[in-house]
Structure 1
Amino acid sequence: MSIESGVGGPRLLAQGPIATVYAGRDPATGNDFAIKMFPGTFDRETSAWLERERKALAAVRSTRSVLQIDDVLTHAGGRSGIRRELCPGSLAGLLDSGARLGVPDVLALGAAIASALAAAHGADVLHGGVSPHNVLYRASGEFVLADFGVALRRRFPRDPMYAVEYTAPETLRDDTLSPASDLYGLGAVLYAALTGTPPFPRHTGQQPGERILQVLREPVAPIQDADVPRELSATILRLLAKEPADRPRDVASLARLFAKLRRPGGEVVTAESADVPSEEEDAEVEFDDFAAVHRPATPVPPVQVVQAPPPGGRTLIREFSGPLKTERGLPWKPIALAGAGVLVAGLTVLPLVLGPAEIGGQAVPVAAAIPPPAPASAPAPDVKLALAPPRDQSDHVQLTWTAEGELDFVVIMAGERLETKQLVAHRQRSLDIPVDPARRYCFQLRATDGRHIYTTEPVSIRGARCNP
């Protein structure tokens, strides 16, 4: 279908760095719908993958909380898009307005999302990014879950820091998507709806790496509200378990649990704690499709675990401060970071000394990049943390290290006339790090067990002198 046919004068609703949303009306039926256009075309592989997901979801159309993709669109300018039902707004919009859902509404929300995930997983379709941005509501007040599927997420990857507070640890670590990661998103959404803040809210001055390490390691604060049923709060915390195996596995049972908790004594609890806009108000479409949204100025069958299909068989580096630059100002093409989870730029500075001059700017303690450990009653154990001499392979450096115990690792990399980078390696013991063959570098290893911070002396390549 072409975007020009049947749109009847599309109206711009919202736009972000990647996708743009329009509202249209079918002149034949008078029905309103939403159109989401992407910056490029759907290539053959993406189109085939998307069509498989659409057909699978169409088979569970009876589950009303699954928002279907009604059509795939093309534009003469070389852009592709999708058409779907137009909803008045999103949970993200409600939360941003300061609304906090009461327990009955959170239970209704949980039942709707869990039912949608159960149906999709049963059809062998993952969601891939559950967050308040893709939890929409109809004019009737029904919650629905939009943006199912992995095809478009892989074709148009978003900034990993977008909605990081709703992203499962294993997804941050190695981009794994699975039914368990969808359930983590469900737990994070319910936590935010119930408390008014996500599990790991952003604090003023907090660096990206701190938030990532919080998701990877720190426990979620308990829900301390006497009005919240203990079974509900315990279920949400189970959904937010760090390890996928520790989360509930039967999402259909979760949907039944939420429905049961709504009916004490057989009666459905109702409440008007959420102020849902009426049909007469202007519709504002929120979408998470891989970019932040800004209004324009004027037992379930097993589902396959999906990992990022890397271009050329390689894993993309995730960068948070824009592409690396060469001396000529040309961006490096993203290349392999074997086994690396997340790359964070500009968090701390490990001074690189070349002769008498310092490179890298103002020195900041590297430990600031790792969340403060909990108070320890005993001295830190000797984990025998040791960073081996780097192996310089011209365009990349091979780092290996040893340690005792279960630790999370972070490599600090300072390069000549480059921003200092932080490589989150989680629990791996090696990294292949791409470097500029013409620059000098220093590396330092940091580790945490959740209570203590451990640090190695910095090591260098190509004659760089490093200040710890």
Structure 2
Amino acid sequence: MSIETGLLAQGPIATVYAGKDPATGNDFAIKMFPSTFDRETSAWLERERKALAAVRSTRSVLQIDDVLTHPDGRSGVRRELCPGSLAGVLDSGARLGVPDVLALGAAIASALAAAHGADVLHGGVSPHNVLYRASGEFVLADFGVALRRRFPRDPMYAVEYTAPETLRDDTLSPASDLYGLGAVLYVALTGTPPFPRHTGQQPGERILQVLREPVAPIQDPAVPGELAATILRLLAKEPADRPQDVASLARLFTKLSRPGGEIVTGDSSDLPSEEEEVEVEFDDFAQVHRPAVPVHSAPAPVQVVQAPPRGGRTLIREFSGPLKTERGFPWKPVALAGGGVLAAGLAVLPLVLGPAEIGGQAVPVAAAIPSPAAASAPAPDVKLALAPPQDQSDHVQLTWTAEGELDFVVIMAGERLETKQLVAHRQRSLDVPVDPARRYCFQLRATDGRHIYTTEPVAIRGARCNP
């Protein structure tokens, strides 16, 4: 069997090839990862594969047909070759009509219902892993948590399709899969994701949108009201507020697509024909520039997957842009860890370390980034206060107080280090690893979804912090 006869796509981690079985003439796709699957990942992946094989009759579940090991040590998976992805269609500027969106919804919902019934989560529904066959049938690929845990992705990758609870503490569940379904249907129907990126918008602002802001309603009169309302329910912030029965969703989408179910209008399908040249896209996991964290164990597939508790090995996700000193030399990042901590690019204020400590010049450790526009109503006094940091040499203990239900982020600026932003979601304390030989400044920010609250920066080890 030929494995790598042609390169199809080069993602940030995986590389996808096309192959052909000389015995049958069948085409297939091979997705190769940059390293081998360890024993725990292989065992977990095999259980997911067997569970999905039991629902093979659900055609919209794209199966993993085989697990391969390349002679150079890389591992990969083989699956059916599809002409293209929904992401490729949408990137071309096409917008699906209501009939196609209903067919899309029925296919994805049926796939999720079958997988959830077999105790397998998807873990990352997005337009990149919604593929279509030459017949035009939509299928959902890249099921399972094993490979997502083995090759964790940057939190900003597909953030507009990621459920709030996944951003907060890495929880994956049937409800987070349904949020992804809602986000995919929203972008397919409107042409824009639920929280599109705006020019000049910082990554952290988009995270705050997903965590707190409501999704703009679908106001197109051509869209059936029941369909629009269902999509908004799927995009509810709280998992309990989303539909609980995905199988009933599949039946609803099928019902709406039939005469008499509801008047369905919309443009004809924008899917490419078989003759058109289509770039094949796959759902790759964005690379995190650190060694992959091994899976804790290989338990039987479960319905909810959460980040490990404090004290265990934690899947760390971080986002920080490269910064330079005034002389143009790049600053090295500091690795951060902590139970349930998500590092993300939230808007920060400029902090300056004392000039005596850095060659006689004040060197900014973060560029000024404007905060989101303040709401018209006066901000309430939430009494946000950051206590003096407790310096423990190799880590710093931070605690704070505030009134109300808020999401928190700690801004950390270090001497000759990148500025880091640590999203603590609703915790009131954080242990932050630090270099015992460096000086640091810390600042706390919080949001209630309408306002941004900020403390004055505080320092340790004689650093001078200028807001």
TM-score, length basis structure 2: 0.87
Q: Structure 1 residues 356, 283: CA separation in 2 closer, same or farther (over 3 Å shift)?
A: closer
Q: Structure 1 residues 230, 140: CA separation in 2 closer, same or farther (over 3 Å shift)?
A: same
- 1:70 and 1:25 mapped to 2: Cα distance? 14
Q: Structure 1 residues 359, 308: CA separation in 2 closer, same or farther (over 3 Å shift)?
A: farther
**Which stretch has the larger CA shift, 382-391 or 285-294?**
285-294
Q: Structure 1 residues 305, 364: CA separation in 2 closer, same or farther (over 3 Å shift)?
A: farther
Q: Structure 1 residues 110, 367: CA separation in 2 closer, same or farther (over 3 Å shift)?
A: farther
1:383 shift after superposition: 1.4
Mark the runs of 5 or more structure 2 residues left unpaired by the alignment: 296-300
Q: Is the 8 A contact 2:394 2:434 kept in 1?
A: yes
Q: Structure 1 residues 5, 34: CA separation in 2 closer, same or farther (over 3 Å shift)?
A: closer
Q: Is the 8 A contact 1:315 1:336 kept in 2?
A: no
Question: Which residue does 2:316 correspond to in 1?
Answer: 317
1:262 shift after superposition: 0.9
- 2:155 and 2:360 mapped to 1: Cα distance? 26
Q: Structure 1 residues 371, 144: CA separation in 2 closer, same or farther (over 3 Å shift)?
A: farther
Q: Structure 1 residues 28, 329: CA separation in 2 closer, same or farther (over 3 Å shift)?
A: farther
1:201 shift after superposition: 1.0
Q: Structure 1 residues 338, 457: CA separation in 2 closer, same or farther (over 3 Å shift)?
A: same
1:463 shift after superposition: 1.2
Q: Structure 1 residues 360, 312: CA separation in 2 closer, same or farther (over 3 Å shift)?
A: farther
1:426 shift after superposition: 1.7
Q: Is the 8 A contact 2:307 2:340 kept in 1?
A: no
- List per-residue Cα deviations over 1:139-158 (Å, max 9, x = no partner): 11110000000111111112
- 1:309 and 1:101 mapped to 2: Cα distance? 40
1:304 shift after superposition: 2.1
Q: Structure 1 residues 330, 282: CA separation in 2 closer, same or farther (over 3 Å shift)?
A: same
1:313 shift after superposition: 2.5
Q: Structure 1 residues 132, 389: CA separation in 2 closer, same or farther (over 3 Å shift)?
A: same
Mark the runs of 5 or more structure 1 residues left unpaired by the alignment: 8-12
- List per-residue Cα deviations over 1:81-109 (Å, max 9, x = no partner): 11111101000000000000111111110
- 2:71 and 2:435 mapped to 1: Cα distance? 40
Q: Is the 8 A contact 2:167 2:342 kept in 1?
A: no
1:448 shift after superposition: 1.6
What is the total number of aligned residue pairs between the two structures? Answer: 462
Q: Structure 1 residues 430, 338: CA separation in 2 closer, same or farther (over 3 Å shift)?
A: farther
**Which stretch has the larger CA shift, 379-388 or 287-296?**
287-296
Question: Which residue does 2:298 correspond to in 1?
Answer: none
Q: Is the 8 A contact 1:408 1:449 kept in 2?
A: yes
Q: Is the 8 A contact 1:347 1:420 kept in 2?
A: no
The percent of aligned pairs where both chains have the same amino acid is 92
Q: Is the 8 A contact 2:444 2:454 kept in 1?
A: yes
1:45 shift after superposition: 0.7
Q: Structure 1 residues 22, 168: CA separation in 2 closer, same or farther (over 3 Å shift)?
A: same
Q: Is the 8 A contact 1:139 1:279 kept in 2?
A: yes
CA RMSD of aligned residues (A): 5.3
1:451 shift after superposition: 2.2
- 1:95 and 1:132 mapped to 2: Cα distance? 8
1:260 shift after superposition: 1.1
- 1:295 and 1:24 mapped to 2: Cα distance? 31
- List per-residue Cα deviations over 1:236-255 (Å, max 9, x = no partner): 11111111111111101111
- 1:72 and 1:322 mapped to 2: Cα distance? 36
Q: Is the 8 A contact 2:353 2:364 kept in 1?
A: no
Map 1:59-458 to 2 at 5 A: 59-265=54-260, 273-291=268-286, 303-308=302-307, 313-321=312-320, 343-344=342-343, 348=347, 350-356=349-355, 378-458=377-457
- 1:84 and 1:423 mapped to 2: Cα distance? 38
Q: Is the 8 A contact 2:408 2:425 kept in 1?
A: yes
TM-score, length basis structure 1: 0.87
Q: Is the 8 A contact 2:98 2:265 kept in 1?
A: no
Q: Is the 8 A contact 2:205 2:372 kept in 1?
A: no
Q: Structure 1 residues 199, 16: CA separation in 2 closer, same or farther (over 3 Å shift)?
A: same
- 1:361 and 1:142 mapped to 2: Cα distance? 65
- 1:448 and 1:359 mapped to 2: Cα distance? 33
**Which stretch has the larger CA shift, 355-364 or 271-280?**
355-364
- List per-residue Cα deviations over 1:350-370 (Å, max 9, x = no partner): 444444469799999999999
Q: Structure 1 residues 223, 455: CA separation in 2 closer, same or farther (over 3 Å shift)?
A: same
Q: Is the 8 A contact 1:352 1:464 kept in 2?
A: no
1:344 shift after superposition: 4.7
**Which stretch has the larger CA shift, 348-357 or 145-154?**
348-357
- List per-residue Cα deviations over 1:371-392 (Å, max 9, x = no partner): 9667656532221211111111
Question: Which residue does 1:4 correspond to in 2?
Answer: 4
Tell me the SS of whatever aligns to 1:281.
Answer: coil
**Which stretch has the larger CA shift, 305-314 or 95-104?**
305-314
Q: Is the 8 A contact 1:443 1:460 kept in 2?
A: yes
- 1:394 and 1:130 mapped to 2: Cα distance? 42
- List per-residue Cα deviations over 1:41-76 (Å, max 9, x = no partner): 111111111110000000000101000011111110
1:307 shift after superposition: 2.3
